Amino acid sequence: MEDLAGRVAFVTGGASGIGLALAEGFAKEGARIVLADIEAEALEKAEGDLLASGAEVIGVQCDVSDRGSVMAAADAAIEAFGKVHILCNNAGVAPADAIDETTPEDWKWCLGVNLMGVVHGIQALVPRIKEQGEGGHVVNTASIAGLIALPTVGIYTATKYAVVGISETLRGELAPAGIGVSVVCPSFVKTRLHEGHRNRPAELGSGPEEPNEFMAQMLANATEPAVIAERVIRGIKRGDFYILPHADMKLGFEARANEILAAFDLD
């Protein structure tokens, strides 16, 4: 998909961080944008800022862990623009704790957003993209934690490994329809990921009272979201499957891959 002008991009987690940077990048390419986000106030501001810049955009409040909410957002996108060509499953949360100290509510929340949010996005929009017969592209935001396991974020790591696996499967399933797939695996990016508990449903408990300090420090000095968005948009145009913006993580993945390869030769 070399030319994004006139295309319609649907972005979850679109009111901040990587999602908002993607929306801004799509706008520069002449695409129309559907911002889907659970935070009403942030969504309204993001939509207003994009409109002021001349972008064609609508904001739709959406809880990606709720299948009905995602289906309704997809309906709103079709009603506004008639079609959707690019789906960016980007919304995510990152509860931090040792696995044996996590709660069932922690798992339900993180899996609901990070894993089922991707599934819901695919089920809501991929059939419509297929029906259009114009090709398209699905971008799933995973993480370097989907390739290299990280301590104290076991739930997050599990969901991101799952997103990588879903993306690898989806690539083969959608290729005959001319729909590309990319999986994005960034390292630390300057977002509010460490404050995700602000959107945690009340019925799943409050979670930690304070943001994870280690995550806060790492994210404060991390890559700007616009850098990731630029890489993603370039990847969509080139048809890249793996989008790995942080070359400094290569050695960590290489060590894991070598250990796995060596295990095949063990008696």
Q: What does the H/E/C string look like for 142-179?
A: CCHHHCCCCCCEHHHHHHHHHHHHHHHHHHHHHHHHCE
The Cα 174–Cα 240 span in angstroms is: 14
Closest Cα partner for 47 from 82, 79, 75, 11? 11
H-assigned helices in 175-221: 213-220
Q: Which one of 109, 156, 161, 188 is the catalytic residue?
A: 156
DSSP state letter for 58: E
Is 161 catalytic? The answer is: no
The Cα 28–Cα 186 span in angstroms is: 22
H-assigned helices in 4-103: 17-28, 40-52, 67-81
Give the active site residues.
156
